[in-house]
Amino acid sequence: MKSLRIFVLFVFGGLFLLNSCVQDIIEPADLVVKNAKILTIDSENPRAEAIAIRGEKIVAVSSNKKIEKYIDEATEVIDAEGRLVFPGFNDAHAHFGPMNPDYIELRYITDPTEITRRVAEKVAETEPGVLIRGGHWEHEMFTNKEWPSKELLDEVAPDNPVALSRTDGHSVLVNSYIIKASGITKDTPDPFGGEIQKDPISGEPTGIFKESAQRLLKYNAKKVELSTEEQESKTSQGWKAAFDYAARLGVTSIQYPGGGNPEFFTNWQAEGLLTARIDVAGRLTANADQLARYDEMRLNYPPEGDWIRFGYMKGFIDGTLGSGTLLLFEELSDEPGKTGLPQMSYAELEKRILATDKMGFQIGIHAIGTKANNWILNAYEKAQLLNGKRDSRHRSEHAQILIDGDIPRFAELGVIASMQPTHCITDKRFCEKRIGLERSKGAYAWRRLLDAGAKIAFGTDYSVEPLEPMEGLYAAVTRKDRLGEEGVGWFPSQKLSMEEAIELYTLGAAYAQFMEGRKGMLKKDYLGDLIIVNQDLLSVSEEEIMKTKVDVTIVGGKVVYERVL
């Protein structure tokens, strides 16, 4: 019996030693970042010095000493030299697309006559009849703060259709060429959900068309003839510029809210050109045939995928604060009698949400105003009642202005507030003018939502706002104008800490797409998406935040951007 015990102990001892030896054999990493100040966004391991990645996944996040064992002669090693490292930015709401070199950029102009000058330049190099597009103007930034009119365009572009979108995309300025081609006169009535802005004296269209009124426009444009090869080359160059731009800004994931084609991104990935993960949304509908097609698309691009996914449905219920088309309970302070422009009836909204929710899709509704957000919360609540409660993570896209009673409902219903912090510092210039001081207390209420237990996902709403996440971080922690200003910021009680803001741009956005278990933190077995920045955002002054540059962007363990120093 004694000899049997000795034999058993010998066998088990040998197995233990063998197992220990196996554990000591560490497969080397493909990429290691060391000597870093790592903000992991992982509450169980909030700070680290080094990170090891094998393939697309993180294998270790720890001290420099412990990560050394993952390095061999084939491992790519990046010495961060003490720089800050954190997960790549995940933009929860970006209208991402190819860059167009012919687009007239009007962002941040303050003199409306600059519109005339830039259009004249473009006309000089454009054939008659060819459509001229541009936008991102903001009339609240003009020195006169007045809406622009067709007269800015008519003299320099009598023979070309010209369409210049307001920065929010919910209003457009067009010239008389387009108005005439569309058959629109002073007698043309406003369509449902839209407004043809008319001169108060003459009654003639001013050239501004809001919301659904834009669909009345017929550009009567001459097509520019390009060969198939030329068109493909132009499209490819535009997309490459867009992805390069995202990589330069540290954006490693993009949630595209509506109308995209996932098949295109599959082709792009096959060519090794996809440098950001993409979620593509469909259009909110109650049409059974369309929902069936979406269901098939969801099978082809399932939520289990890491690169290209489909399954989120996007709808609109109102307009914007800037265009004065947001849906409110009470009239606009600066336009008495107007309470905004609903893009559908509540009954239609509820119908679409019930049908889409029943199919198991995630839903996001563009909702800016108080009534708009109340409506979508009511409809989501109705869906839970009739279809059953599940982890749907339906969203309010923007959740900009809320009544007090709706703030706790986000947490109660599990609805995500998908918000864009730069909207706050853009809109605060005219928010109180539009809706008054009291209603403005419910605007961009990040702290109140978090304190109520709600989930927030940050993004940019590009190209309504720049894709630059540093502007969003600045907005979240200061609530001040981009040019800087004295004081503590607009409604400073709603400001966030820098670490909180980064978390909402990473883990918060990952949660909004059901990926918080594999993205948004720097943690073992998570996707190797991270950035290295040139300043310590956790300690720099607020004046330095927007000056911070991304030095290195890594997606799936591969360096997709490295700044030339």
Model confidence over 34-83: pLDDT tens digits?
A: 999 999 999 999 999 999 999 999 999 999 999 999 999 999 999 999 99
What does the pLDDT average to over 485-512?
Answer: 98
* Closest residue by Cα to residue 396 from 408, 410, 383: 410
- pLDDT recorded at residue 223: 79
The β-bridge partners of 76 are 31
353: pLDDT strictly greater than 50? yes
Percent pLDDT > 70 in the chain is 95
CA distance 37 to 532: 9
pLDDT band, very low/low/confident/very high, at 311 (cuts 50, 70, 90): confident
pLDDT band, very low/low/confident/very high, at 24 (cuts 50, 70, 90): low
Q: How would you class 347 by CB atoms within 10 Å of its CB: exposed for 0-12, middle for 13-18, buried for 19 or more? A: exposed
> Residue 311 is inside which H or E element, if any?
strand 308-316
16: pLDDT strictly greater than 70? no
404 φ, ψ (degrees, to nearest 5):
-55, -45
- pLDDT recorded at residue 262: 87
CA distance 287 to 168: 28
The answer to whether the beta carbons of residues 150 and 207 sit under 8 Å apart is yes
Choose the weakest-confidence range: 5-19, 83-97, 147-161, 498-512: 5-19
166 φ, ψ (degrees, to nearest 5):
-65, 160
Q: Which residues contact 258 (CB under 8 A, 6 or more apart)?
A: 95, 281, 282, 283, 314
pLDDT band, very low/low/confident/very high, at 23 (cuts 50, 70, 90): very low
* Helix, strand, coil percent content, the chain, rounded in steps of 5: 35, 20, 45
187 φ, ψ (degrees, to nearest 5):
-90, -5
CA distance 535 to 473: 13
- pLDDT recorded at residue 94: 97
CA distance 358 to 367: 21
CA distance 515 to 517: 5
> Do strands 171-174 and 205-211 pair parallel, antiparallel, or not at all (unpaired)?
antiparallel
Domains (ranges, CATH) in the chain? 104-216 (3.10.310.70), 236-524 (3.20.20.140)
- pLDDT recorded at residue 12: 45
The answer to whether the beta carbons of residues 508 and 521 sit under 8 Å apart is no
What does the pLDDT average to over 408-436?
Answer: 98
Q: What's the token pair of residue 473?
A: 């971080």
* Closest residue by Cα to residue 457 from 93, 168, 96: 93
265: pLDDT strictly greater than 80? yes
* Closest residue by Cα to residue 81 from 31, 32, 33, 36: 36
Q: What is the DSSP string of 93-161?
A: SB------TTSEE-TT---THHHHHHHHHHHHTS-TTB-EEEEEE-GGGSTT-----THHHHTT-SSS-
At 162 the three-state DSSP class reads strand
- Cis amide prior to 43 (ω within 30 degrees): no
What does the pLDDT average to over 486-504?
Answer: 98
CA count, 13 A, side-chain hemisphere, 28 = 9
The answer to whether the beta carbons of residues 274 and 243 sit under 8 Å apart is yes
pLDDT in tens, 530-556: 999 999 999 999 999 999 999 999 999
What does the pLDDT average to over 273-297?
Answer: 95
Q: What's the token pair of residue 459?
A: 């993004």
383: pLDDT strictly greater than 70? yes
Percent pLDDT > 90 in the chain is 88
The average confidence (pLDDT) of the chain is 94
pLDDT in tens, 190-245: 999 999 999 999 999 999 999 999 999 999 888 777 777 877 788 889 999 999 99
What does the pLDDT average to over 260-279?
Answer: 88
What does the pLDDT average to over 251-269?
Answer: 87
- pLDDT recorded at residue 116: 98
Q: What is the DSSP letter of 502?
A: H
Q: What's the token pair of residue 142?
A: 């003009």
What does the pLDDT average to over 10-23?
Answer: 45
pLDDT band, very low/low/confident/very high, at 9 (cuts 50, 70, 90): very low
- pLDDT recorded at residue 229: 81
pTM of the model: 0.93
pLDDT in tens, 92-125: 999 999 999 999 999 999 999 999 999 999 999 9
Taking the alpha carbons at both ends of the chain, their separation in whole angstroms is 73
